[in-house]
Structure formats: C-alpha cells, structure tokens
C-alpha cells in the first residue's frame, strides 16, 4: 500500500490540502493503493531502460562540451478533470488568437503602438523583432503554427500563464513517449480510467501544417522538418516528429532554391517543398538575409518565403511574442485584439528596465524570481528565496548593469503532484506546457501536454536542464 506525505501548505493536485483524494484522482488513488512500492519501482527502472534504448535524450550545454542526458520520467500521472481542461482550453485559444493578431499588427499597421498600449521602443528595439518581416503576409495569415503555453497552478481554480513559447516550442516528443510508456506498462489502468488520447498529435500536426500551405502549392502539400543537425539539444524530437508525420527530415545543405521554390535533394533529383517546419532560429535561417556565417540555414529561403513560395513554421519574427517583457503586456494584448478580458491570468511582472521597477526589484531581490528577457531552459535565472547572499549581490550587479535585460516575478506557491520515491509517494512542484496547433481556420489544443516536475524536495525549478523530470498528463474523458 502506498501513502503520500505533505509538503507545507502548497495545493496538492491529488490531495488538495488534506488527505482525501480530489475527484479527478479518485479512480487512480484506488488503483495505486493496491499496488506494491517495490513493483512500481521496478517499473520505473524498466521505463528508464525503455527511454535509454529509444534514445530519448537531450543535450546539456555548459562551459565544457555538451553532455547527453536522459530526462527522468516519473510514473505517477498528473490528472486533470474534463471541466478543468475545458476552461484551460478556452483560455489558451483566446491567448493564441491574440498572439497571432499581435504579430500581424506589429508587422503591418502597428495599431497597438499607435494606440499607446505598448511603448514603441518595446518593439522597435527588441532583438526578437524582425524588420524584414514588415509587410510580409504569411500563408493563411498564420504566424505561430505551433505554440507552447507554460502554465502554473497555485490553487484548485487558479492557473497562471508563466511563459508563451511562440518560436520553436519543444517537448512534445516527451509528451508522446511518456503516454506510450504508460500504456505499455499499465494497460489495465487505462482500461479502468478513460483518458483522452494524445497519440494523434503527429497526424494533427501534419494536417495543420498542410492546411497552411502557400498558394504556390500544387496538389498534396509536401512537408519537411528543418533541423540544425544531430548536435542540437532537441535533435531527437526533430527526428521523432518527422518520422511520425511521414515528413522528410532535412538540414540546410539538403535544400536549395530551384525555379523560385525551395527544393530538397532526393535520389530522383530536387523536389519542391511546400511547408518547412523549421527548428532553426531566425538568425541562422538564411545566410543571405541574416547571419552570413550561418551554416545551418538555406540561402535565399527568406526571399522565397516573402514571394509566397513556401510556408515557414513558425514564421520568422514570431520570437517577439514570447519575449518576457512583451509577456508583461499580454493582458492588454488579449483585450486589444479580442475585446475580451483574459481568461488566463499573467503572473505579476516587473520590467527592470523601468527605474521604479528596478528599484523595487533590487530592494526585494531575496523574495523574487528574476529572468532574462530572452532566456530559456532555466539558464540565467535567479530564485531569490533559494539564493545565497553572495549570489544575490552578484545578480544585483548584473541587474544594475543591464536592467532592460531582466524581468522579475513573485515566487509563486506552485501546486504539487506526487512522485514515486523509495519511501512511497512524495509531493513535488510542477508546471504544464500544453501544445497548440494553429491553421488558417482552426486552433486545436492537445488534451494534456508536457508536465515538468522538480524532482528535488522543495525545488521550484522544473526545467530538465536544471535537474527536473517529466510526467504523463491525463485529461479525463468526463
């Protein structure tokens, strides 16, 4: 029999603030109470072997050369009720509609800037803003074909958006492999508990991308995935998704401009591509238009894109929508473009480039979480309550030197979900990244997403690069 311990006064998604399971977890709780800890621990080891055998790893970049790691997988699922998910889904769709409208606006009429809802400098001097995209109309009007919205929970009915990932959101392969592993190991569990499927994501991704094909496309759209290569931290995912979609996996040297189209090298010569799901950053996408020294991109691909000869997913210049300073304006952005109040709230955010905000952040540094505006993966971040006096002093110098490079947020009481430990179940903090597919006439949210979990007791850092793990995310059928 397995029991769970409590960790402070954080909201636990399985047990709330007490010891009785919440409704979404009742069926799972009945099942796990009858399980033996030793059996589950053997299953956990078996799962690790499966992941290692499959090659599900990621690269960690440090001062030395990159090292390859396995992302720890926890067998206890995160369970969401259908009603909880329905509200999240509405809020996510609202937010993604607003993001696409914002991107179209700032690269065309810039009405939100004219209205004074966002300072002009916030866009014009933003390194993620791409002037070359001004006036460019992406096929179908879609900028962000794939979006990842990072959510955190602080109470039963309190969800907040922590970040928007509009460039090249990663992690969907882990969502899919987590579910596949759980299905293999506990088929009886899924026969008892009706869980919404996620396995159709690759097919839905392909359909969504094909629906965004350019007018130059004749016949069935040809889709390909552009990867920087095997040394990229997310290469496994690039390979996995191309295989699951039935799309070609290509690198920059496999492509060239032929008769005004982007074509890939095949055994039968060069074949035109209609949609390129690119996992290469803007700067490296086209050496003729961006960084000349790039060996990862395709010379001339941006010219073909501007002429309507290919769809790039996501569109160049979308990075400004997941800039953390722009994030602080998302409530205004949602209201401006939808005419509605945001269903999902932002976390309160101080923009350190503003003198009053900087003063407050420096005075309360030990209480706040400070992030780089363009940072990701948990790098370049300070968690004030967990930092030493020396770390706080050093970070204060960084803030004073480049204040506009940082935003600050309060330390949230993130919800917990139990993980399997040697002693049984123990609560750990989690976040959630649902994945959204955007086509010209549809926005679809995969029911679940990637739950990342902080495996260290008390830790609020869930990023895999910082020692976090992942869980399967269940959205119940009803």
Confidence band for 30, pLDDT divided at 50, 70 and 90: very high
Average pLDDT for residues 320-332, to the nearest whole number? 94
Q: Is the pLDDT assigned to residue 304 strictly greater than 70?
A: yes
pLDDT digits (tens, 9 = 90+) for 101-132: 999 999 999 999 999 999 999 999 998 999 99
User: What is residue 378's predicted lDDT score, i.e. its pLDDT?
Assistant: 58
Within a 10 A sphere around the Cβ of 195, how many other Cβ atoms?
22
Q: Is the pLDDT assigned to residue 1 strictly greater than 70?
A: no
Q: Is the pLDDT assigned to residue 61 strictly greater than 50?
A: no
Confidence band for 57, pLDDT divided at 50, 70 and 90: low
Pair 94, 251: CB distance under 8 Å: no
User: What is residue 168's predicted lDDT score, i.e. its pLDDT?
Assistant: 87
Q: Can you give the residue ranges of every domain in the chain?
A: 349-410
Spatial distance between the Cα atoms of 224 and 271, rounded to a whole number of angstroms? 11
User: What is residue 463's predicted lDDT score, i.e. its pLDDT?
Assistant: 77
What percentage of the chain carries pLDDT values higher than 70?
94
Average pLDDT for residues 88-105, to the nearest whole number? 98
User: What is residue 2's predicted lDDT score, i.e. its pLDDT?
Assistant: 42
Work out the widest C-alpha separation in the chain, in whole angstroms.
Answer: 67
Confidence band for 468, pLDDT divided at 50, 70 and 90: confident
Q: What would the CATH number be for the domain defined by 349-410? A: 3.30.1490.270
pLDDT digits (tens, 9 = 90+) for 293-303: 999 999 999 99
Q: Is the pLDDT assigned to residue 446 strictly greater than 70?
A: yes
Average pLDDT for residues 184-212, to the nearest whole number? 96
Return mean pLDDT, the chain.
92
Average pLDDT for residues 409-422, to the nearest whole number? 93
State the DSSP code for 22. P
User: What is residue 62's predicted lDDT score, i.e. its pLDDT?
Assistant: 45
449 Rama class: left (phi>0) / alpha (psi -120 to 50) / beta: left
Confidence band for 96, pLDDT divided at 50, 70 and 90: very high
User: What is residue 4's predicted lDDT score, i.e. its pLDDT?
Assistant: 46
Confidence band for 379, pLDDT divided at 50, 70 and 90: low
pLDDT digits (tens, 9 = 90+) for 206-258: 999 999 999 999 899 999 999 999 988 889 999 999 999 999 999 999 999 99
Which runs of consecutive H residues, i.e. helices, occur in 328-371? 330-338, 355-363
Confidence band for 54, pLDDT divided at 50, 70 and 90: confident
DSSP-based helix, strand, coil % in the chain, nearest 5: 35, 25, 40
Confidence band for 465, pLDDT divided at 50, 70 and 90: low
Spatial distance between the Cα atoms of 183 and 181, rounded to a whole number of angstroms? 5
Pair 385, 367: CB distance under 8 Å: yes
Q: Is 222 helix (H, G, I), strand (E, B) or coil?
A: coil
Average pLDDT for residues 365-377, to the nearest whole number? 84
Spatial distance between the Cα atoms of 84 and 92, rounded to a whole number of angstroms? 13
User: What is residue 50's predicted lDDT score, i.e. its pLDDT?
Assistant: 85
By CB atoms closer than 10 A (0-12, 13-18, 19+), residue 422 is: exposed
User: What is residue 118's predicted lDDT score, i.e. its pLDDT?
Assistant: 95
């Amino acid at each position: 029999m397995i029991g769970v311990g409590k960790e402070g006064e954080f909201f636990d998604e399985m047990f709330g603030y007490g010891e009785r399971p919440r409704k979404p977890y009742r069926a799972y709780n009945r099942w796990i109470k009858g399980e033996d800890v030793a059996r589950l621990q053997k299953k956990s080891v078996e799962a690790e072997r499966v992941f290692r055998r499959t090659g599900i790893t990621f690269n960690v970049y440090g001062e030395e050369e990159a090292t390859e790691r396995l992302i720890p997988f926890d067998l206890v699922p995160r369970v969401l009720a259908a009603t909880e998910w329905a509200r999240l889904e509405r809020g996510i769709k609202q937010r993604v509609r607003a993001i696409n409208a914002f991107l179209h606006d700032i690269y065309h009429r810039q009405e939100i800037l004219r209205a004074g809802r966002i300072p002009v400098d916030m866009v014009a001097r933003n390194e993620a803003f791409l002037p070359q995209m001004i006036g460019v109309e992406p096929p179908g009007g879609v900028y962000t074909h794939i979006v990842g919205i990072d959510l955190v929970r602080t109470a039963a009915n309190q969800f907040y958006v922590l970040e928007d990932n509009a460039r090249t959101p990663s992690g969907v392969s882990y969502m899919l492999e987590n579910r596949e592993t759980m299905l293999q190991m506990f088929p009886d569990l899924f026969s008892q508990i009706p869980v919404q499927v996620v396995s159709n994501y690759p097919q839905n991704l392909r359909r969504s991308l094909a629906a965004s094909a350019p007018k130059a496309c004749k016949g069935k759209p040809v889709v390909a995935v552009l990867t920087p290569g095997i040394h990229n931290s997310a290469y496994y995912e690039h390979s996995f998704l191309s295989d699951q979609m039935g799309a070609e996996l290509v690198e920059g040297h496999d492509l060239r401009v032929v008769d005004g189209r982007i074509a890939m090298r095949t055994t039968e010569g060069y074949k035109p591509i209609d949609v390129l799901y690119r996992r290469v950053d803007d700067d490296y996408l086209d050496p003729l238009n961006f960084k000349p020294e790039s060996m990862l991109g395709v010379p001339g691909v941006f010219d073909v894109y501007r002429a309507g000869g290919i769809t790039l997913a996501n569109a160049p210049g979308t990075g400004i929508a997941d800039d953390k300073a722009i994030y602080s304006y998302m409530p205004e952005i949602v209201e401006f473009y939808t005419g509605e109040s945001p269903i999902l709230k932002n976390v309160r955010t101080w923009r350190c480039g503003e003198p009053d905000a900087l003063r407050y952040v420096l005075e309360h540094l030990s209480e706040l979480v400070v992030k780089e505006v363009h940072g990701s993966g948990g790098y370049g971040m300070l968690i004030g309550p967990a930092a030493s006096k020396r770390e706080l002093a050093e970070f204060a110098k960084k803030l004073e030197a480049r204040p506009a490079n940082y935003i600050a947020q309060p330390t949230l009481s993130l919800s917990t979900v139990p993980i399997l430990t040697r002693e049984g179940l123990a609560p750990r903090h989690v976040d959630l990244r649902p994945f959204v597919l955007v086509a010209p006439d549809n926005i679809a949210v995969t029911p679940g997403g990637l739950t990342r979990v902080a495996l260290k007791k008390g830790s609020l850092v869930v990023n895999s690069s910082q020692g976090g793990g992942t869980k399967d995310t269940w959205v119940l059928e009803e």
